[in-house]
Amino acid sequence: MMNVFRKLMPREDKFFEMFCEHSRTVVAAAQALEQILNGTDVERNCERIVELEHKADDITRDVLLAVRRSFITPFDRGDIKDLIQSMDDAIDMMHKTVKTIRLFEQQNFDPLMQQMGSEIVAAAKLVAEAIPLLDKVGTNAQRLASIAEQVTVVEGRSDDLHDQGLKDLFRRHGGKGGQSDAMAYMIGSEIYGELEKVVDRFEDVANEISGIVIENV
């Protein structure tokens, strides 16, 4: 009965504008992270991610405030909160990665880290494609399900890159057949772990989107 009532009432479409703006911010941050991992203007791109993370936080606050003030929302209020917070978690994790890179003054990154950067951009772009489709979730249900599945595939590839990266680090710095360098191993494994968590956060977004589709179709 409540679903029927919602369909008959005018909606607050400003949520989709804010979702889309946030998703574009996340894509820009992912592209900056990819540039960092490729060794391009590392400090400038670190600063860009910090700025974008602050912008994303502002959008998230606006969404949460709108949820409290709006009489009718396009879908469940709890789903709106979970979706925007999961998106924000992704860029927060990128910011945390930047903090580690700056802390240890890293300028050069393993090829597998660079590949993970490309996967992060791919995941961000998939989410950015999915967000506006939620405006007509019934019509776009099939495409949304496909995007969520693609994000899961990206996450699987990133897991493989993470595992292989740790193995390579150990071969180079673990003291077996290579020069022992515990600090280099620690820093490298920390960055690999944080990159993996970035992609995990995008999978969380995909799961939120899947849940919204299931509840509203």
In a domain, 215, yes or no: no
In a domain, 164, yes or no: yes
The pTM of this model reads 0.92
> What is the rounded CA–CA span in Å between residue 45 and residue 33?
7
In a domain, 216, yes or no: no
**pLDDT at 45 (0 to 100):** 98
In a domain, 217, yes or no: no
**pLDDT band for position 217 (cuts 50, 70, 90):** confident
**pLDDT at 58 (0 to 100):** 98
In a domain, 178, yes or no: yes
In a domain, 115, yes or no: yes
- Residues 75-121 have pLDDT tens digits of 899 999 999 999 999 999 999 999 999 999 999 999 999 999 999 99
Mean pLDDT of 44-51: 98
Q: Which of 147, 153, 152 is nearest to 133 (CA)?
A: 147
Mean pLDDT of 142-150: 98
Average pLDDT, the chain: 92
Number of domains in the chain: 1
**Residue carrying structure tokens 């995007």:** 147
**pLDDT at 4 (0 to 100):** 43
Residues in the chain: 217
**Residue 12 confidence (pLDDT) above 70:** no
In a domain, 201, yes or no: yes
Within 10 Å of residue 48's Cβ, how many Cβ atoms?
Answer: 19
In a domain, 59, yes or no: yes
> What is the rounded CA–CA span in Å between residue 60 and residue 192?
27
Which range of residues forms the domain containing residue 125?
2-210
Q: Residue 184: give its domain's CATH number.
A: 1.20.58.220
> What is the rounded CA–CA span in Å between residue 145 and residue 211?
10
**pLDDT at 7 (0 to 100):** 46
**pLDDT at 75 (0 to 100):** 87
Q: Which of 158, 69, 91, 92 is nearest to 122 (CA)?
A: 158
